[in-house]
Chain A
Amino acid sequence: MLFRKIKEFFIEQLIFFSGIASIVFVLLIFFFLLKEGLGLFKTVGLWDFLSGQFWYPISDPPKFGILPLILGSLVVTLGAIVIAVPLGIAAAFYIAEVASPRVRDVLKSLIEILSAIPSVVLGFIGMMTLVPFIKWIFDLPTGLTALAGSLLLAFMALPTIISISEDSINAVPREYKEGAIALGATHWQTLYRVTIFGALPGIIAASMLGVGRVIGETMAVMMLTGNAAVIPQSLLEPVRTLTATIAAEMGETVKGSEHFYALFVIGIVLFVISFAINVTADVFLHKNRK
Chain B
Amino acid sequence: MIILRDGLDKRTMHKIEIRNLNLFYGKFQALMDVSMNLKPNTITAMIGSSGCGKSTLLRCINRMNDLIEDVSVKGSVFIDGEDIYHTYVDLVKMRRKVGMVFQRPNPFPLSIFENVAFGLKIHHLAKGKALESRVEESLKAVLLWEELKDRLNASALDLSLEQKQRLCIARLIALKSEVLLMDEPCSALDPIATQRIEELMAELKKNYTIVIVTHNMQQAARVSQETGFMLLGELVEFGLTTDIFTHPRDKRTEDYITGRFG
Contact = CB atoms under 8 A, between A and B. Distances in A.
- Answer yes or no: are A and B bound together in one complex: yes
Contacts of A186: 92, 122
Contacts of A197: 108-110
Contact of B106 (A173, A184, A189): A173
Interface stretch (A86-94, A130-138, A174-182): A174-182
Interface in B137-194: 168, 171-172, 175
Contacts of B91: 184
A198 interface: yes
A189 B122 CA distance: 7
Interface string B50-64: 000000000000101
B239 interface: no
Interface stretch (B3-11, B96-104, B225-233): B96-104
A50 interface: no
Contact of B100 (A173, A182, A185, A189): A182
Contacts of B171: 179, 183
A33 interface: no
A231 interface: no
B260 interface: no
Interface centre among B92, B107, B122 (most CB of A within 10 A): B122
Contacts of B122: 180, 183-186, 189, 193
A189 B93 CA distance: 14
Given A184-B119, A184-B123, A179 B64 contact: no
Interface string B71-101: 0000000000000000000011111100110
A173 B103 CA distance: 13
B93 A184 contact: yes
A44 B67 CA distance: 66
B245 interface: no
Given A179-B168, A198-B109, A184 B92 contact: yes
Interface centre among B93, B102, B108, B118 (most CB of A within 10 A): B108
Contacts, number: 67
Nearest to B101: A182
Given A175-B104, A178-B67, A182-B100, A193 B118 contact: yes
Contact of A176 (B67, B100, B108, B175): B108
Contacts of B102: 175, 178-179, 182
Nearest to A199: B109
A194 interface: yes
A182 B102 CA distance: 10
B96 A176 contact: no
Q: Which of A173, A179, A197 has the most CB of B within 10 A?
A: A179
A181 B109 contact: no
Contact of A184 (B67, B96, B109): B96
B61 to A, nearest CB: 11
A146 B166 CA distance: 55
B118 A181 contact: no
Nearest to A185: B122
Contacts of A189: 122
B101 to A, nearest CB: 9
Contacts of B64: 178, 181-182
Interface string A173-217: 101101111111110010001100110000000000000000000
Contacts of B175: 183-184
A46 B106 CA distance: 54
Contacts of B123: 184
Contacts of B172: 183
Contacts of A194: 108-110
Given A175-B106, A194-B108, A183 B119 contact: yes
A118 B99 CA distance: 53
A180 B118 contact: yes
B108 A180 contact: yes
Contacts of A173: 106
A89 to B, nearest CB: 17
Contacts of A185: 92, 118, 122
A175 B109 CA distance: 11
Nearest to B110: A197
A268 to B, nearest CB: 39
A18 B96 CA distance: 58
Given A183-B172, A193-B108, 10 more contacts: A175-B104, A179-B107, A179-B108, A179-B171, A181-B95, A183-B118, A184-B122, A185-B118, A194-B109, A198-B109
The 9 closest A-B pairs by CB, nearest first: A175-B106, A184-B95, A182-B100, A184-B96, A179-B106, A184-B92, A183-B119, A197-B109, A198-B109
18 contacts: A173-B106, A176-B109, A179-B108, A179-B168, A180-B108, A180-B122, A182-B102, A183-B96, A183-B122, A184-B94, A184-B95, A184-B122, A185-B92, A185-B122, A193-B108, A193-B121, A194-B108, A194-B110
